[in-house]
Chains A and B, each alone.
Chain A
Amino acid sequence: MKVSILTTLPHSHHKVIPIVLAKVQAGFPSPADDYIESALNINDLFQVDESSTFFVRVEGSSMINAGIMNGDILCVRRDLEPKEGKIVIAIIDSEFTVKRFMKKGKRVIFEAANDDYPSIEPQDGQSVEIWGVVTGFARTFK
């Protein structure tokens, strides 16, 4: 990083006395006034909830067929119910992973989206916890 001195500031300036300005009404009201809506906000698109949304960076390629690539940032809601077919962050045997949440009868399966990676079918006695549901992912072009 380069550091450059922007400017040196003089110790005092002459004081500027403000002039009182009255607001003058002019012009016609905009014909679009009745049509104003709030601008698009990407937080809405990602269903961001200020309390329960967390961002997580992905390392690896087991979800590549779901479009999620190495280095992508996932937007995760901790409070959403994990429904079948949703991509979730789960903790399986004390390790985080990202997989598609599926059900097979009474069992659950964490499905990879890449043929080179096995799906995870937790057995009895294995600890499983769903940490959050992925609501979208972001990738920026540098």
Chain B
Amino acid sequence: MYKKLYALIDCSSFYCSCERAFRADLKGKAICVLSNNDGCIISLTPDTKALGFKMGTPYYQIKDDLAQKGVAVFSSNYCLYADMSKRIVKIIRSFSDFVEQYSIDESFVQFEANTNNIEQERIRLHALAEEIHFTILKKTGVPVRVSIAETKTLAKVGSEYTKCLIKQGIVPAVCFWEHPDKDGYMKTLPVNDVWGIGRQWSKKLEMSGIKTAKDLSMANPDLLKKNYSIVMERTARELSGFSCILFELVAPERKSLVRSRMFSHKITDAKYLKQAISFHLARASEKLRSDKLMATELSIFMSTGRHTEITKYSYAHQTLLRPTNDIIILAEVADKLFKECYVKNDKFGNEYKYSKAGVSLSGFSSIDKQSEPLFDIGITERPALMKILDGLNRKFGKHTVVLASMGVPKKLQKIEAAKDDAIEWGMKRGLMSKRFTTVWEEILQVKI
């Protein structure tokens, strides 16, 4: 008999590990990575946690404390993290054809186990989990946790379990299926730490006596469905070893595409707001073209911060006459939407200080599935021009050719190089490391 098992490959403190991989002096040192605009902590190593820092804490509150305790702080460097993630997924694919990339730092892999000889299979799978761990570590320098179990939710539990192994100095790779410690560990794992259970729900569960992962696995699924939701029922069944969460080999089709960012400082001027929207629209449409999609809905939005005296949120939306991914057509619509929704000041004449703007595209269809329009609406797609545009920007660097509405290319290139305040609406990320793996000018330099 054969049984399907799921491995979860989870990169511990992934962003920190990527930073550490290119720094000789950060081995065993506390690291944290900040969100866009150096807002708050989004990744931290266990030793940073041990110093009392937490995920989500705003940077300005702990800036001095971090410096004093010698924690290495980085702005997020998504170019680097995305490339390292791609490398890791590539290695995982060498172990199995059935890989589901769940997020930038987590993948599920399907394996089969022979249930006729469980002990022997457990030894084989444990060795496989270790091999995956060591191969990824050796090739990329990023440590991962590997856990194999009969459902995705149990693989997540097993992945939590490997954290105990790390503390004992054991390789964080485990075959959690039929593991002797499985029951005991599930009795100690708080229900709040189970995959998919929010804090609200865990409170309610605890009140009704379901305190641990083990309790939840033994609860009556029908009652859970009645009292909570179908998700809760599914989670309980998964914990009891019955697989209910589908394995998605192909990422589900994109439903919408949002591009926005906080500005490094507040903007009142329409000109710069418009440039920022143009910039995000260009990024979104480029992504659309690389995914071979067309959009039929376009929205733009802009907002002041929530903590300022005078707040404003503006939004405008338009359904397009026909699906498109042509930046020129989209920019024309965005321009019209901007005129509709931009408000300079309130009725007392106080200027709105905008801190964020962005675009959203949706209503997607594949390029290959387009039908000829019934009526000529006088809009012509320029796929060849878009191809040249994307090609030039790929070959000669981002923002080599841009729409004039975006502003000056040279300044735009500076925001990509993370030079602070190079542009009025740029992003604050003064602590960004180099893009070691994607830009020749920024590769690792070694004094010899």
Contact = CB atoms under 8 A, between A and B. Distances in A.
Nearest to A71: B445
B447 A51 contact: no
Contact of A56 (B332, B378, B401, B446): B446
B395 interface: no
A6 B401 contact: yes
A142 interface: no
Nearest to A5: B404
Interface stretch (A26-34, A35-43, A96-104): A96-104
A56 B444 CA distance: 5
A55 to B, nearest CB: 5
B446 A50 contact: no
Contact of B25 (A15, A54, A73, A95): A95
A21 interface: no
Contact of B445 (A49, A56, A127, A131): A56
B88 interface: yes
A97 B445 contact: no
A96 B138 contact: no
Interface residues of A, number: 39
B410 interface: yes
Contacts of A57: 443-446
A51 B87 CA distance: 4
A15 B377 CA distance: 10
B305 interface: no
Given A1-B410, A3-B410, A15 B447 contact: no
A78 B24 contact: no
B379 interface: yes
Interface in A71-94: 73-74, 78-79, 89, 91, 94
B275 to A, nearest CB: 14
A131 B138 CA distance: 9
Interface string A130-141: 010000000000
15 contacts: A12-B380, A15-B376, A49-B139, A51-B88, A51-B139, A52-B87, A54-B443, A56-B445, A59-B446, A60-B447, A60-B448, A91-B24, A94-B25, A95-B24, A97-B447
A78 B448 contact: no
A61 B101 CA distance: 43
A27 B162 CA distance: 65
A3 B409 contact: yes
Contacts of B90: 50-51
B446 A58 contact: yes
Interface in B140-160: 140-141
A13 B380 contact: yes
Given A50-B90, A60-B448, A94 B409 contact: no
A30 B218 CA distance: 70
Contacts of B436: 54
Given A78-B141, A79-B139, A96-B24, A51 B446 contact: no
A61 B446 CA distance: 11
A26 B271 CA distance: 58
Interface in A95-137: 95-99, 127, 129, 131
Contacts of B445: 56-59
B50 to A, nearest CB: 21
B135 to A, nearest CB: 8
A137 B222 CA distance: 64
Contact of B328 (A9, A52, A99): A9
A65 to B, nearest CB: 12
B408 interface: yes
A75 to B, nearest CB: 11
Given A52-B140, A63-B448, 16 more contacts: A3-B409, A12-B380, A50-B87, A51-B87, A51-B88, A51-B91, A51-B140, A54-B436, A57-B443, A60-B447, A60-B448, A73-B443, A95-B24, A96-B446, A127-B27, A129-B27
Interface in B416-448: 436-437, 440, 443-448
Contact of A52 (B24, B139, B401, B440): B139
A60 B447 CA distance: 6
Contacts of B448: 58-63, 68, 97-99
